[in-house]
Amino acid sequence: MQTELPDKLKTTILCNSAEQEALNKYKRFGKLKSTEELRRRNCFPVVSEDFLPEDVIELSGSGTEELPLDLDGNVGDEGVSPTVSYEHSGGSGGKPGFVSFYSLQRAKENVVPSPREKKNQNSLLWFAGPAVLVASFILPSLYLRRIISLIFEDSLLTGDKEQQLLISANMLRFPHTFFHRGSLLLRGCSFLLLIHSLWSPGNKVPATSNYGKLTTQMGHRISSVAILMLSLIIPMVTMGFVWPWTGPAASAALAPYLVGIVVQFAFEQYAKYTKSPSWLVIPVVFQVYRLHQLNRATQLVTALSFTVRGAEMTAHNLAINNSLGTLLSVLQILGLICICIFLSTTSAESLVDSYWLLRIKSSFVDPDHALSNWSSATNICSWNGLTCSLDQAHVIGMNLSSSGLSGVISPDISHLSSLQTLDLSINSLSGPIPSELGRLENLRELFLYTNSLSGKIPHELGFLPKLEVLRIGDNLLSGEIPKSIGNLTELKVLGLSYCLLNGSVPSEIGKLKNLESLDLQQNALTSPIPSDIGGCDKLQNFAASNNMLQGDIPASIGKLHSLQVLNLANNSFSGKIPELGSLQELNYLNLLGNRLSGAIPSELNLLSQLQKLDLSGNNLSGPLNLFTSKMKNLEVLVLSDNHLAGDISSSFCMNDSKLQMFSLARNGVSGKFPLELLSCFSLQQLDLSDNKFQGEIPSEIDKLAYLTDLYLNNNSFSGKLPPEIGNLSNLKFLSLYGNGITGEIPAEIGKLNKLSVIYLYDNHMSGNIPKELTNCTSLTEIDFFGNHFSGSIPETIGMLKNLVLLHLRQNELSGKIPPSLGDCTKLEMLALADNKLSGSIPSTFSSLSELSLITLYNNSLEGPLPESLFLLKNLKIINLSHNKLNGSIHPLTGSTSLTVLDLTNNSFSGSIPSRLALSKNLIRVRLAGNTLTGNIPLEFSLLKELISLDLSSNSLSGELAVSLSNSTKLEHFMLNDNQFSGKIPTWLGNLKGLGELDLSSNNFSGTIPKELGNCSALLKLALYTNKLSGQIPPELGSLSSLNVLNLQGNNLSGNIPSEIQHLQKLFELRLSDNFFTGKIPDELEQLTELQVILDLSHNQLSGEIPQSLGNLMKLERLNLSYNHLKGRVPSSLGKLSSLHRLDLSHNLLQGKLPSAFSSFPASAFVGNKRLCGAPLESCSGSSRKWLPKGEVIAIIVAIVFTSAVICLVMIYIMLRIWTVWRQVSVSNNDGFGNENKGQDEEKWVCYGDEKKKGGYCKMNSKNMTPSPDNQLKK
């Protein structure tokens, strides 16, 4: 029978309320990351549990009951019978592809017993044990007395009356004595043998504490102290009184009674010690024995009385007779006591159930006291959650659903053999499902869903022949579905959803001919669905969504003619959609989120009852060949996230179409807006987002008069927004973002009184924001981000009393912020950043009590903050950076819920308010670029969640207090460009997550703490321009993640540590302006990621430039200037292809520069006097050409040696000339001097040119030696 969906479930719902709220609050402040933030994969009712058939369950003997649903589609508490099966929603809250079945129609069928376990091998004892016990009653009475009579026959015949009386007493006493003292042990042993043999070995009596508690109910009712005292004292006192006259008779009458009590006590103690269940029946058996004993004793005393009365009535006999009368009265009193006790034990079955129920209770934790009346003081049929049979003898139902129970399920439930319904659902029970539940042969309904049960599903559940409903989903159950489930031939409802089940769906499920509902969703099931599923002829609801099922959807599903709901969403099914055209009862079909391919089968048009169809998230292609003219009941059609193409047929929608929601999002469909859709007059939700539609939005859009949601975002629509859109009087959600729409917002938009959300961001719209927009008083969200709107914000914006989100960032708005904005008292998010707004912040903002986010950065706002802002107690995010605001920041500290405070680059002054630390959830504080003074408040020790603290570029002073060490989550710590002093604290090494530390441009002194080496996550370490001294601690080499190390402008000294080679992610290293000495470490070649700069300038480094620096292939800037480096410039530096700035000036470098450096300016090499080559002067033909030192020494030695030789030769020549001259002089004195006087004189002739060149003179040839006189004259 087709069941009509209730009207309230037919109402389409845009979004899950929780998701809508999240979307409203956290959608996007900046640019929307993706269309998924607006696309409602979870917002369409076709993929939600809210759209479920509300059917009727029909149980035998219970008629029908309709289960009420609340507004969320959950089963209500009222009117739910414990015998009615219903499916708990499991808190899915509208998850895609989920459907649960709260109820369904089902008829009672004949019970077909399932195969049972092998019968008990000890069943013979059930006959042998009772036979022995009965024989022990009968045989002694029949034969024992006759044997004794034969022995004393002569005495009876010949003795006197007194002797006959004694013999008669003995004849009666001996049988009873033997009976009680002999056969009692046999009976007790037989009894214990029966109990131990026939009872399950696993069902021991609980531990001593529980045992004592339970025996309070039964054992103390029988063997309490009062009864025990009466049972012992009365017979013993009586024996004391009558012993002088009736000693043997009193012994025969009362001794077996007393012995029975002792033996009973011994048996009970033994049962207690062995924790045997036999103690339950011990009192009952012994009471039967005791009544029999008293009966035989009464017969004895009566016989003796008659004997005495027949004798002569002497004084002695009279005393005997009186004693016998007293003894008879005592026996009667003891009989009454035994009868009362026996009556209290006749309800043994009920007491057995009570015992097991109390054991079951002991395994539960009951904080809500739901089991408070489970007590031995009351009848079990009045206990909470229990239902008894009509004769009040058996418990047939236990319903403890939603009782707040925890603990485990006791295996002792298996002893409630008459149980038909067990409901422990919606609790917090843990542990495994007891396999002993498989013994409840009469169980028909088992509800264990929505707990925390774990382990595997016991296969013993397959041995419940009458089971009709099995719902154990929404637990932590794992493993595979047992194949024994196929034995439950009476099963109608099987719910295994929301667990951790894996493996395959067993083919044995196909044997469940009566199955009507099968729910396997939200597990980890794999493999294909078995084709045997087609054997479930009566199946109405099949949900297996959110698993890992794969392969083809079996064609046998098309044979399930009773099927109404088919939900296989979010699996890995592939292949084509099978033939489903014969499922004439189908009203819900969900195949979203699979890998189905091929075209949409046209046979789906035959499903005339289909109401909701979701084929989204597959690989379907081809044209859209579905027609609502054939599927007359179709209300929801979702085809998004496929590869469909082609046009929509003109007959897609007819006048009588019931289609309310149509989604074609993310299919890549192109062309203009499909005008065919304008014939779907009943359409309420239309989603064509994320396609390639072009052209203008048609003015005929107003034909869709019932339209509530229009999604055309992320297409290529252009042109202006048609004014006719104002005729869509039911429109609530308008999403046009991510297009190329131009022009102004039409004033007709103000006619949309129901409009709640309007998204126009990321378009090219311009002009003023029309004041008519403020007539849309239902608006909750306005997002015009990233357009070119200009002018001022409408002064009447305060009319939007329901506004929650106002996002106008990245436009060209100017003017002041309207004070009426303070009337939007529901406003939670205000984003006016990146505009040209001016003026001050209105004081009316104090009325925005719900405001949690305000971003006004990158404007020209000025003036002090209104003091009334202190009243905003819900503020969480404040960003007023890059404005001209001044004064104190105290008004922003009224909220203790702040998480982000950014006031960067303003003109705020004064000290940092200590009240700011009351916002203990602060994660980011940025106050840089102001004129704040004073110290960091000690109260900042409360900010344990702080991640980023930027107080740079202020005038803060003092030392870093140890209180800041409480912010152990700190990742960004920037105090640069202040006036902090003292030593850098060692507690910084405890900030394991610190990624950026900038203490530069302060007055810190002392050494760099080695504890900084513990900050393993550090990416940037900037300590430049301080007064730090000492060496670089080698521990900094353990900062393996470090990218930037800047220590320049300090007084550091010593060698550059070789451990620096371990900083292999370093891309910027600055150590300039210090006093480092020694050589440049060769290990720097390991810094292969060094890119931005290597700056070692202005130090006292010596030695040669390492050739290994040529391995820094990514290096862009190298500065080694102002050191004492010497030697040649290594040619390997010329291979640094990325190097574009080089400074080697002012060192002691020499030699010729490699040709690769000719493109660098000469200033990069100045100050190296012995360095030559391009871009410096050429090294060839220049007096400034310098030779190597060895060659210079060799040349000097050669010059000195040559000069010495020339000097010696000249001296020799001069001596020779002088000697000749002296000889000539002597000859002239001897008379030869005037002989040549008349001859031509020899002269020295010096030519000027020759003198200039070398100073040599030519002599004429007449005379080699001038006269002394002439020479003197010259």
Place of tokens 């550091």: 1052
Contact 959, 937 (CB under 8 A): no
Q: What is the mean pLDDT of the chain?
A: 79
Lowest model confidence (mean pLDDT) among 56-70, 127-141, 1252-1266: 56-70
pLDDT at residue 239, as a whole number? 67
**Of the candidates 662, 678, 768, 655, which has an alpha carbon nearest to the alpha carbon of residue 728?**
678
Measured between alpha carbons, how far is 853 from 878 in angstroms, rounded to an integer? Answer: 6
With a cut of 80, say whether residue 1232 has pLDDT above it.
no
pLDDT at residue 1104, as a whole number? 93
Measured between alpha carbons, how far is 763 from 786 in angstroms, rounded to an integer? Answer: 7
Model confidence at 703, pLDDT cuts 50, 70, 90, reads very high
For 1057-1070, the pLDDT digits (tens) are 999 999 999 999 99
Could you tell me if 1272 and 1167 lie in one domain? no
Measured between alpha carbons, how far is 127 from 198 in angstroms, rounded to an integer? Answer: 12
- Residue 1074 is classified by DSSP as S
Lowest model confidence (mean pLDDT) among 338-352, 633-647, 790-804, 940-954: 338-352
Contact 1075, 1055 (CB under 8 A): no
Q: Specify the number of domains making up the chain.
A: 3
Could you tell me if 1037 and 1153 lie in one domain? yes
Could you tell me if 1167 and 1251 lie in one domain? no
Is the peptide bond preceding residue 530 cis, with omega within 30 degrees of 0? no
pLDDT at residue 657, as a whole number? 86
Model confidence at 973, pLDDT cuts 50, 70, 90, reads very high
Q: What is the mean pLDDT of residues 436-450?
A: 96
For 631-671, the pLDDT digits (tens) are 889 999 999 999 998 888 878 887 778 999 999 999 989 89
Show the tokens assigned to 203. Answer: 């069902």
CA distances to 339, 451, 1005, 1242 from 329, in Å? 15, 62, 111, 197
Measured between alpha carbons, how far is 858 from 832 in angstroms, rounded to an integer? Answer: 9
In a domain, 864, yes or no: yes
With a cut of 50, say whether residue 518 has pLDDT above it.
yes
Place of tokens 């002239």: 1228
In a domain, 528, yes or no: no
Could you tell me if 1270 and 1155 lie in one domain? no
With a cut of 90, say whether residue 1267 has pLDDT above it.
no
Could you tell me if 1144 and 1268 lie in one domain? no
With a cut of 60, say whether residue 88 has pLDDT above it.
no
Could you tell me if 164 and 313 lie in one domain? yes
Q: What is the mean pLDDT of residues 695-716?
A: 96
Measured between alpha carbons, how far is 59 from 42 in angstroms, rounded to an integer? Answer: 35
In a domain, 1253, yes or no: yes
In a domain, 590, yes or no: no
For 481-515, the pLDDT digits (tens) are 999 999 999 999 999 999 999 999 999 999 999 99
Model confidence at 628, pLDDT cuts 50, 70, 90, reads confident
Model confidence at 463, pLDDT cuts 50, 70, 90, reads very high
With a cut of 60, say whether residue 101 has pLDDT above it.
no
Contact 1147, 1121 (CB under 8 A): yes
Measured between alpha carbons, how far is 214 from 221 in angstroms, rounded to an integer? Answer: 11
Last residue of a domain, one of 1172, 1200, 1234: 1172
Show the tokens assigned to 229. Answer: 């005292």
Q: What is the mean pLDDT of residues 159-165?
A: 45
Q: How far apart are the first and last CA of the chain?
A: 156
In a domain, 1209, yes or no: no
1029, containing H or E segment: strand 1027-1030
State which residues form the domain around 924.
856-1172
Model confidence at 68, pLDDT cuts 50, 70, 90, reads very low
**Whole-structure pTM value:** 0.67
In a domain, 305, yes or no: yes
Q: What is the mean pLDDT of residues 1128-1152?
A: 91
In a domain, 437, yes or no: no
Last residue of a domain, one of 1156, 1172, 1188: 1172
CA distances to 529, 1222, 1248, 1267, 1269 from 1274, in Å? 137, 20, 17, 11, 9
**Of the candidates 641, 683, 643, which has an alpha carbon nearest to the alpha carbon of residue 665?**
641
In a domain, 1254, yes or no: yes
3-state secondary structure of 456: strand
Model confidence at 248, pLDDT cuts 50, 70, 90, reads low
Could you tell me if 1132 and 1272 lie in one domain? no
For 733-778, the pLDDT digits (tens) are 999 999 999 999 999 999 999 999 999 999 999 999 999 999 999 9
Could you tell me if 1143 and 1249 lie in one domain? no
Name 1250's Cβ contacts closer than 8 Å, sequence gap at least 6: 1256, 1257, 1258
pLDDT at residue 241, as a whole number? 65
pLDDT at residue 784, as a whole number? 97
Q: For 897-944, what is the HEC assignment?
A: CCCEEECCCCEEEECCCHHHHHCCCCCEEECCCCEEEECCCHHHHHCC
Q: Tell me the DSSP string of 952-991.
A: -SSEEEE---GGGGG-TT--EEE--SSEEEEEPPGGGGG-
The CATH code of the domain that includes 1046 is 3.80.10.10
Q: What percentage of the chain exceeds 70 in pLDDT? A: 73
Measured between alpha carbons, how far is 232 from 262 in angstroms, rounded to an integer? Answer: 10
Could you tell me if 1126 and 1271 lie in one domain? no
Comparison of pLDDT for 29 and 1193, the residue scoring more = 1193
Instruction: Give φ, ψ of 581 to 5 degrees.
Output: -65, -20
With a cut of 60, say whether residue 153 has pLDDT above it.
no
With a cut of 50, say whether residue 865 has pLDDT above it.
yes
Q: Tell me the DSSP string of 758-819.
A: EE--SSEEEEPPPGGGGG-TT--EEE-TTSEEEEPPPGGGGG-TT--EEE--SSEEEEEPPG
Measured between alpha carbons, how far is 534 from 542 in angstroms, rounded to an integer? Answer: 12
Could you tell me if 1033 and 1140 lie in one domain? yes
For 817-828, the pLDDT digits (tens) are 999 999 999 999
Last residue of a domain, one of 346, 363, 380: 346
For 976-1018, the pLDDT digits (tens) are 999 999 999 999 999 999 999 999 999 999 999 999 999 999 9
With a cut of 80, say whether residue 54 has pLDDT above it.
no
DSSP β-ladder status, 406-408 and 364-365: antiparallel
CA distances to 245, 291, 661, 855 from 326, in Å? 12, 19, 97, 106
Could you tell me if 1250 and 1166 lie in one domain? no
For 1114-1132, the pLDDT digits (tens) are 999 999 999 999 999 998 8
Comparison of pLDDT for 432 and 76, the residue scoring more = 432
Measured between alpha carbons, how far is 782 from 774 in angstroms, rounded to an integer? Answer: 11
Model confidence at 292, pLDDT cuts 50, 70, 90, reads confident
Name 1142's Cβ contacts closer than 8 Å, sequence gap at least 6: 1117, 1118, 1119, 1133, 1157, 1160, 1164
Name 119's Cβ contacts closer than 8 Å, sequence gap at least 6: none
CA distances to 710, 1084, 1132 from 1079, in Å? 72, 11, 18
